[in-house]
Amino acid sequence: MDDIISELKRLKEEHMQEKKDDIYFRTIEKLLVIERQAIYGTLSQKNKKIELEIDKEMKNYRELKNVN
């Protein structure tokens, strides 16, 4: 039983790491956070923040493609 639990924990950690490494998922997640903040009125200059986030992730994407 302990083996199963430890294996499930390991799989969960791997899955979380894959999500952190996935540029598309990470970008969408950040954009959704920005959108949520804008909806609730806790964020000013939404478009500027979205553009900055996309530019930052595009840079990461280009670096990843150049490495591969």
**7-49 pLDDT tens trace:** 888 888 888 887 777 888 888 888 999 999 988 888 788 889 9
Alpha-carbon span 39 to 37, nearest angstrom: 5
Query: What CA–CA distance (Å, rounded) separates 30 from 34?
Result: 6
Choice between 16 and 4, residue whose per-residue pLDDT is larger:
4
What pLDDT does 32 receive? 92
pLDDT at residue 61 in the model: 86
What is the number of structural domains in the chain?
1
- Does the structure show a pLDDT above 70 at 68? no
CB-facing half-sphere around the CA of 48: CA atoms within 13 A: 3
Q: Which domain holds residue 14?
A: 2-67
Q: What is the pTM of this model?
A: 0.63
Dihedrals φ, ψ of 42, to 5°? -100, 10
pLDDT at 64: 81
